[in-house]
Amino acid sequence: MCGIAGIVGRPGEIADAAEIHRMCQTLVHRGPDDEGIYVQGQVGLGMRRLSIIDLAGGQQPIHNEDRSVWVVFNGEIYNFPELRRELESRGHRFYTHCDTEVIVHLYEEMGAECVSKLRGMFAIALYDERRQRLLLARDRLGKKPLYYAFCDGRLLFGSEIKALLAAAPQLAE
């Protein structure tokens, strides 16, 4: 199943890894096998993993070759073997065998349009450090949930509403 969560803070704010961890703790039932957190400046990404593909090497967040693009992902990309072959033929180097990694390399080539190439069920949070841009996306049918809210000048997101409430309990009022 898996679950993702994260925050984009106010300008000048530094994301708090402990806050991202609290958000992820609300999603343990979705991903009991692993937790991964990425924090850079005002952005924090987190995920809880249920290991299905690449059991040994698919820990998230996943990054590109120079660690400038990071992604957390819930779901499955059905056409990832074909996408991976295409991307490798164009020089991309992969360090995992999981479907998540195709997302960062496809983003490098296509930007936000990369989502149009993905076939499957998914919720994605991808952060581009160079452009300081967050891409949130989900599959066309909404099979994988992705909730978001703006609260006190911050963007909160997660696979379940309770992840957002862990960072902003006032949303429940």
**Residues classed as catalytic:** 2
CA 7 to chain centroid:
11
Distance between CA 45 and CA 68 in Å, rounded?
14
DSSP code per residue over 112-136 = GGGGGG--EEEEEEEEETTTTEEEE
Distances, alpha carbon 136 to alpha carbons 51, 71, 105, 151, 169, in Å: 22, 10, 16, 17, 22
Distance between CA 59 and CA 57 in Å, rounded?
6
